[in-house]
Amino acid sequence: GQNIDQPTEMTATEGAIVQINCTYQTSGFNGLFWYQQHAGEAPTFLSYNVLDGLEEKGRFSSFLSRSKGYSYLLLKELQMKDSASYLCVLTGTASKLTFGTGTRLQVTL
């Protein structure tokens, strides 16, 4: 089976940097995604890690350590529009996705 743990809520200030952590246990690992979901909307893809290390894409970076069962999403230069839920998602066998409960990020002035 798979188990994903991430904080429920976080608050950060506009212009700051925030790190959202995700720890997981899984019997079959084929990659880890981060998705962003604004209230009332479908999730949208942010990043994909399958090998250890850091993937950078603009203001967003994602890190993976497979041996530690750990990932984080780093958001820089926070903007108000970054207020959303951030979902840590495991992909296992047959491309099935398992979603974490999500971290609701509130960006304040």
Partner 1 sequence: SAVISQKPSRDICQRGTSLTIQCQVDSQVTMMFWYRQQPGQSLTLIATANQGSEATYESGFVIDKFPISRPNLTFSTLTVSNMSPEDSSIYLCSVQEHHTEAFFGQGTRLTVV
> Rule CB under 8 A: which residues touch partner 1?
30-31, 33, 40-45, 48, 50, 87, 91, 94-102
User: How far apart are CB 16 and partner 1 at their closest, in Å?
Assistant: 25
Structure tokens at 67: 């041996």
- Min. distance of Cβ 99 from partner 1 in angstroms? 4
- Write down the least CB distance from residue 89 to partner 1, Å: 8
What contacts 33, CB < 8 A, 6 or more positions away? 45, 46, 47, 48, 87, 88, 89, 90, 91, 97
Nearer to partner 1, 93 or 109 (CB): 93
